[in-house]
Amino acid sequence: MLKKRQELILKTIIEEYIKTASPVGSKRIQEVISIEISSATIRNESAFLEEQGFLEKAHTSSGRVPSTKGYRYYVDYLMKSNDIEDVKSQIEEIFKRRGATIDQILEETSKILSEMTKLATVVATNDGFEEVELNKVELVSLSGKNAIVIFVLSNGVVENKMINLETVPIEELQISIDLFNDRLVNSKLSEIEFKSKAILPILKSQVKKYEFILQTFVSALLHTGSSQAKTSGMKYLLENPEFNDPNKIKSIVEFIESSSPFAWFKSQMNNKNKAAVAIGIETGVGNDDIAIVGTNFPTESGGQGTLALVGPKRIQYDKVSDLLEWIGQKIEEKYNRGE
């Protein structure tokens, strides 16, 4: 644990960076910090926080920015709930509308959340996801350049995935499909990601593009069954200065499209209605520029859904966590009343 003064300096840097998206120097820290402290002490403590991995030195100025480790410490030990009563009042009115369905409520709530936070909102539901099984995988060659991999599920759903044969030879695809049929048929979709790790060494020994194939197959299966996901607020998300770079825009769009927020939050959320936070590499996709905050909620058919906000690491974690926990509780209350 850090000392109180170090925590205060770290908290000040993070909250200033969240507001401005600009590196924070010692002069600015001295202006806004709540205790009397010399600039030399601030520089020394900031250097210590950088050495310990809580801060990173900005390349273009003398200021510092928070690291993933710094954000995690802030979320776990330092942040306090912000005043968000105005936003809650707007959302409360949506819940009060007579006859409004949860889908309608979530659609309107997502728009408010994205506009307020400048983040993308993802609503994912997976009713019956745990019971759906993989029945078989088939390969259909369309031409010399493309083929379709077909996943047949126990609930009658058929998922198709187009593969460019210039990227993966058809022989490697067939070997991979045969392995999936031998080892993963009759597995529940909720088990696929875990079980696929066991076949990775076998796949690696037989095909060159084993990582791409495994990721493609598993990703396709995690988005099948009765899984549905809706994303809103991308235009607000892209207003963040972190995504001025076209490569970073592509990265976060691919992340939202290819990830499975439901699967991640289901494994992370042990406390009912509590918000879970994944920062940087904690998201599990090798992208250190992204953060997610989300909460689970019950669905009408007895399944589970996830409401998540996705954006740069410079998220107002306190405000977002408080809001999502509150929304999750409101949805559960609505179901408990039988509405």
Q: Is the four-CA dihedral 185, 126, 295, 309 of positive or negative sign?
A: positive
Give residue 13's domain range.
4-78
* CATH code of the domain containing 302: 3.30.450.40
- Nearest CA-CA partner of 110 in 235, 17, 241, 21: 235
What does the alpha-carbon distance between residue 307 and residue 294 come to, in Å, rounded to a whole number? Answer: 5
Shared domain for 122 and 165, answered yes or no, is no
* CATH code of the domain containing 156: 3.30.390.10
Shared domain for 194 and 291, answered yes or no, is no
Residue where a domain stops, chosen among 49, 78, 107: 78
- pLDDT tens digits for range 106-159: 989 999 999 888 899 988 876 555 578 899 999 988 877 888 999 988 877 778
Determine how many CB atoms are found less than 10 A away from the CB of residue 272. 13
Shared domain for 113 and 254, answered yes or no, is yes
* CATH code of the domain containing 22: 1.10.10.10
The 3-state DSSP class for residue 193 equals helix
Q: Is the four-CA dihedral 153, 157, 158, 159 of positive or negative sign?
A: negative
Shared domain for 116 and 141, answered yes or no, is no
Percent share of the chain, pLDDT over 90 = 32
Strand order in the sheet with 290-298: 227-232, 120-126, 304-312, 290-298, 276-279
Shared domain for 185 and 121, answered yes or no, is no
- pLDDT tens digits for range 35-77: 889 999 999 999 999 999 999 987 666 789 999 999 999 988 9
**Average pLDDT of the chain, as a whole number:** 84
| Residues with Cβ within 8 Å of residue 248, at least 6 apart in sequence | 242, 289
